[in-house]
Structure 1
Amino acid sequence: MRLPTITAAPGTPPCGPPTLGDDGWVVTRHADVLAALTDSRCVVPSVPDGPVGTLAWLRASVSRFSPPDRHAARRAVGVAALDALDPEELRRHAVRLTERILDLPGEEDVTPARRVPLLVLAERLGLTNPAAATEVVAVAAAYHPGADAAAERRADRAVAALLAMSPPAAAEVTANRLGLLVQAADATAGLIDAALRHARAAPDGLATATLLAEVLRLDPPVRATRRVAADALRLGGQRVRAGDRLLLRFDAANRDPAVIAEPDRFRAQPAVGVLTFGAGHRGCPAQRHALALAAGVVDVLRHASGRLIEGSRR
């Protein structure tokens, strides 16, 4: 059986050498994106700090936006929290909660199930107040620098509320636990939505794990990440100056024909080298957990009635 082709999302650039634009270099080839992710001279852009309990404080305290000298210690906080969680148990909890949501009287679509990974992870990290998920979503809407002022104000209030809900701990420990939730909020929901869209064209019997792996490659919920060159370097044959900005395009690199034959075609086995979760010492530490949570939700929805699967199109 010939597997379906999945067209790249609008705006996905073709693979080629790094190109310099008004906002820095756009990096699209798999080898170049991987090189930038694993080169210590390519650092995350700095973010301003702020008072404890604000969005600026959260950004400046999490490993995601930390400078090299602070990153390892902060990442260790998140890794320790994740090490206490069994991905298989998370998956089972996600299955139970999704089934419970679908059994609610009058439930007509799968939209509430998008929150399941966040609800499960928040509970396991000690935020048992159901309102925590709503606050995390508000933070996620403004998490990356550049959000509008109104969104940042809402996020400030949400961060303060999440701090009050969190178990007692040092401020930086709490920040990095919250960072795990914020990073999971939109990305995992996006992965679930994309998996349901593409499941309709996937071959019967395709394992959910394989479906998710291919969706991460072909329609990633996180399409790019940024770096700044701390020192001059060469990348993909181009001379990059110290201070130059780099936009690393996962969506393009995952379709690089130099790495994957027929890169636009859905595969029956997961492709090797997918970069959506990053790579190197800043690669996402929660990959197994995120995939387990998403798999729990998608498994239930794939086997639900046609009425509910149709609801995922809305």
Structure 2
Amino acid sequence: MLPPRDPVAAITHPDPYPYYAGLLRRRPFHRDEALGLWVAASAETATAALASPAGRVRPLAEPVPRALLGGAAGEIFGRLVRMTDSDAQARAKRAIIATLASVTPEAAAIEARRWAGALTEGAALDPAGLDALIFALPMHVVGSLLGFAPAQLPAVADRMRAFVAAIAPGSSPEVVERGGAAAAEMVALTQDLIDTPDGGLARRLHEAAEREGGIDPAAVTANAVGFLSQTHDATAGLLGNAILALGARPELRRRAAADRTLLPGLVQEVLRFDPPAQNTRRFLAEDVEIAGHGLQAGDTVLVLLAAANRDPALNPDPDRFDLDRANRRMLTFGHGRHACPENGIANAIAVAGLDALLDRLPEAAWPGSPAGYRPSAARVPVFAKS
């Protein structure tokens, strides 16, 4: 098997981890001239890049991708707290994190189990059915938590698929146009939830923003939609990679089938071993030194989270999938002021999906390897051969 052509393409490679290991050994921090950016592969250099106060989540000159400007998709993107660095972003982020944290693990688990059962009962769990499930389950759970009615959820999932495709780098004008139309529809639907006294998590986001003060109401709506979009590929990847982890390890699968309390730990090891978030970028707003190298304002650092997770300095024997791993450490959720809060909702969705499949997916139907990986910013397996 040929290695990935570069660290960006690695995300869709069948097995990028030997390539990552080579970078760890030989070039833990280096300049990739072909890509025009710096690459941080080791735990030490990845942490340094993520912690640098010079790092931004978007280029200063392009806060919104040019392809999205002037449309509803760009309006949402420009208001996402995880994509901006202003003081208003900090206030909005506080309100949003506090509201998401108000969803207890028990509440998330109940909703996840309800929809995992509903979406797998009587479903054709062939490879195409698994491809549909890993996207449908996160959208139904998060959409329901936001306050959408069950009858609305399939349409919500369809619109979010179009929106996520539009904001992906390199999307065609036609895809951006369709995604913009879907984004405008999602804004209207989400605003309806916010205006409803019992509008679920979307309404609570609005109330938290009002208490914080100084937050644009349109940012609340955008970030409710953004919660769905952030869940779309990332949680599909987490569930899909967890399915592969069990499919490739029959003994572990039988152990988990007999003791479902093992599933949360299994999901945590998947997040370390084969995470959906393989990399992230930091755009430097000023000159800085990282790992002994002088970087300039305007430089970009590609942080290989998945490589850092397999750094022996972070986790001994890192290439072994170990359900019982002690002191598991990972950079999957980032590090520093732009770190993502560890998403208990995503974990609950993956656990519930695995639990339902252990009951309903026949032994012979568990996939040990994917047919491929989707072109996405997340590592999302494809089960059905095209």
TM-score for the superposition, normalised by structure 2: 0.73
Could you tell me which residue of structure 1 aligns to residue 213 of structure 2?
none
Could you tell me which residue of structure 2 aligns to residue 209 of structure 1?
264
Alignment of 1:232-271 (within 5 A): 232-270=287-325
**1:121 maps onto 2:178 in alignment:** no
Deviation at 1:308, TM superposition (A): 8.3
Q: Give 2:352's match in structure 1, choosing from 273, 296, 299.
A: 296
**1:110 maps onto 2:134 in alignment:** no
SS of the residue corresponding to residue 291 of structure 1 reads helix
- Relative to structure 1, the CA distance from residue 154 to residue 286 in structure 2 (aligned partners, 3 Å threshold; closer, same or farther) is farther
SS of the residue corresponding to residue 61 of structure 1 reads coil
Q: Gaps (5+ residues) in structure 1?
A: 1-5
SS of the residue corresponding to residue 152 of structure 1 reads helix
1:61-99 per-residue CA deviation (whole Å, 9 max, x = no partner) reads 001210243431231242143133222222222222222
CA distance in 2, matches of 1:51, 1:125: 27
CA RMSD of aligned residues (A): 2.5
CA distance in 2, matches of 1:181, 1:152: 18
1:182-209 per-residue CA deviation (whole Å, 9 max, x = no partner) reads 0110000011111011113442425111
TM-score for the superposition, normalised by structure 1: 0.89
CA distance in 2, matches of 1:308, 1:121: 31
- Alpha-carbon contact 2:57-2:281 (below 8 Å) kept: yes
SS of the residue corresponding to residue 174 of structure 2 reads helix
Q: Give 1:199's match in structure 2, choosing from 233, 240, 246.
A: 246
Alignment of 1:86-165 (within 5 A): 86-104=104-122, 108=126, 109-114=129-134, 115-128=136-149, 129-130=152-153, 131-165=155-189
- Relative to structure 1, the CA distance from residue 11 to residue 78 in structure 2 (aligned partners, 3 Å threshold; closer, same or farther) is farther
The alignment covers a number of residue pairs equal to 309
Deviates more, 1:267-276 or 1:7-16: 7-16
CA distance in 1, matches of 2:234, 2:354: 14
**1:33 maps onto 2:35 in alignment:** no
**1:230 maps onto 2:268 in alignment:** no
Deviation at 1:38, TM superposition (A): 2.0
CA distance in 2, matches of 1:105, 1:213: 27
Q: Give 2:223's match in structure 1, choosing from 170, 176, 182.
A: 176
- Alpha-carbon contact 1:224-1:249 (below 8 Å) kept: yes
**1:14 maps onto 2:70 in alignment:** no
For 1:69, give the aligned amino acid: D
CA distance in 2, matches of 1:105, 1:185: 21
SS of the residue corresponding to residue 255 of structure 2 reads coil
- Alpha-carbon contact 1:7-1:264 (below 8 Å) kept: no
Deviation at 1:53, TM superposition (A): 6.3
- Relative to structure 1, the CA distance from residue 81 to residue 17 in structure 2 (aligned partners, 3 Å threshold; closer, same or farther) is same
Deviation at 1:309, TM superposition (A): 4.3
**Which structure would you say has the larger RCO, counting Cα contacts within 8 Å and 6 or more residues apart?**
1
Could you tell me which residue of structure 2 aligns to residue 188 of structure 1?
235
Q: Give 2:87's match in structure 1, choosing from 54, 69, 80.
A: 69
Identity %: 29
Could you tell me which residue of structure 1 aligns to residue 77 of structure 2?
59
Alignment of 1:280-295 (within 5 A): 280-285=336-341, 287-295=343-351
CA distance in 2, matches of 1:37, 1:164: 35
- Alpha-carbon contact 2:38-2:299 (below 8 Å) kept: yes
For 1:121, give the aligned amino acid: V
User: Between Structure 1 and Structure 2, which shows a larger proportion of helix residues?
Assistant: 2
Q: Give 2:58's match in structure 1, choosing from 45, 63, 66.
A: 45
SS of the residue corresponding to residue 172 of structure 1 reads helix
Deviates more, 1:58-67 or 1:280-289: 280-289
CA distance in 1, matches of 2:248, 2:69: 49
- Alpha-carbon contact 2:119-2:137 (below 8 Å) kept: no
SS of the residue corresponding to residue 148 of structure 2 reads coil
1:4-49 per-residue CA deviation (whole Å, 9 max, x = no partner) reads xx96457646214311123210110111111222222111123238
CA distance in 2, matches of 1:113, 1:181: 16
- Relative to structure 1, the CA distance from residue 286 to residue 82 in structure 2 (aligned partners, 3 Å threshold; closer, same or farther) is farther
- Relative to structure 1, the CA distance from residue 98 to residue 27 in structure 2 (aligned partners, 3 Å threshold; closer, same or farther) is same
Q: Gaps (5+ residues) in structure 2?
A: 1-13, 196-205, 207-216, 257-261, 371-382
